[in-house]
Amino acid sequence: MPRLILVPTPIGNLEDITLRSLRILQETPLIFAEDTRVTNKLLNHFEIKKKVLAFHAHNEHRFLEKTVELIQQHEFCVLVSDAGTPGISDPGFLLVRACVQAGIEVECLPGPTAFVPALVASGFPCDKFVFEGFLPHKKGRQTRIQALAQENRTVVLYESPHRIAKTLNQMCEWLDPQREACVVREISKKFETYHRGTLAELQSYFSQHEAKGEIVLLLKGNAE
């Protein structure tokens, strides 16, 4: 029976990859990747030679059926993202759903995911939390942010360094500016940093300092 195996890849330090992930990458006949260039750099680092095909946000609908057909022709294939666990805030979800519908077995290995270490190290309650992924860029953005006002669980979001200042500014406008938050940058990399404070304090900081690297934004739950 054909299988699709989701293999998490390092989000920073290459040592974060597991021995099991390396074995699966070495054994698979075919890898589907978000960006073949990024994946080939990872494979080259570990001296793994494999056929890598693209499956990303610009071709997922066009190549979905073809990708499923290719998986059905092999004992198992692998899906990776540029960094972290495939399917979280990337088009890997569509392939997983299509494989499930086609009767293909799907397996996901444990491994790096940016929001988990950010959540645990934020200092906010993590027994209950809600993962919101990326906010809409335009349509529905205000509604989505305002809906977080009464959320009593810790809120976890992904954000681009180019939009973090704008996002914090809008949160100050549409939420309580004194709500506690944490901006986490460059998880598992050399310059990993945690900026903690109120939304107003973080907005003031990032309006004056350019953000770099991937970002996880956390909001403490509304105690009221």
CATH number, domain containing residue 153: 3.30.950.10
Degrees, nearest 5: CA angle 87-91-97: 70
Chain length of the chain: 224
Has residue 56 got a pLDDT over 90?
no
Has residue 59 got a pLDDT over 80?
no
Residue 63 to residue 182: CA distance in whole angstroms: 38
Residue 132 to residue 143: CA distance in whole angstroms: 13
Cα–Cα distances (Å) from 95 to 13, 30, 36, 134, 174, in that order, read 27, 15, 17, 19, 36
Residues 145 and 73 in one domain: no
Has residue 61 got a pLDDT over 80?
no
Structural domain includes residue 149: yes
How many domains is the chain partitioned into structurally? 2
Residue 217 to residue 184: CA distance in whole angstroms: 6
pLDDT at 60: 63
CB 52 within 8 A of CB 40: yes
Residues 127 and 81 in one domain: no
DSSP one-letter code for 192: -
Structural domain includes residue 76: yes
Residues 97 and 157 in one domain: no
Structural domain includes residue 224: no
Residues 104 and 197 in one domain: no
Residue 59 to residue 115: CA distance in whole angstroms: 26
**Which residues share a beta bridge with 5?**
78, 107
Last residue of a domain, one of 108, 137, 160: 108
Last residue of a domain, one of 108, 129, 146: 108
Long-range contacts of the stretch 196-205 (C-beta < 8 A, 24+) = 196/122, 196/123, 199/168, 199/171, 199/172, 199/175, 200/172, 202/168, 203/165, 203/168, 203/169, 203/171, 203/172, 203/177
Residues 209 and 125 in one domain: yes
pLDDT, averaged across the chain:
94
Assign residue 74 the CATH number of its domain: 3.40.1010.10
pLDDT at 91: 82
Residues 215 and 124 in one domain: yes
Last residue of a domain, one of 83, 108, 133: 108
Residues 15 and 97 in one domain: yes
- In this structure, the strands spanning 30-33 and 51-54 are parallel
Report the range of poorest mean pLDDT among 87-91, 124-128, 209-213. 87-91
Residue 224 to residue 5: CA distance in whole angstroms: 43
Domain containing residue 143:
115-219
pLDDT at 194: 97
Has residue 57 got a pLDDT over 90?
no
Has residue 58 got a pLDDT over 80?
no
The per-residue pLDDT for range 180-223, each reduced to its tens digit, is 999 999 999 999 999 999 999 999 999 999 998 899 999 999 98
Residues 59 and 11 in one domain: yes
CB 32 within 8 A of CB 106: no
Task: Tell me the average pLDDT across 10-31.
Answer: 96
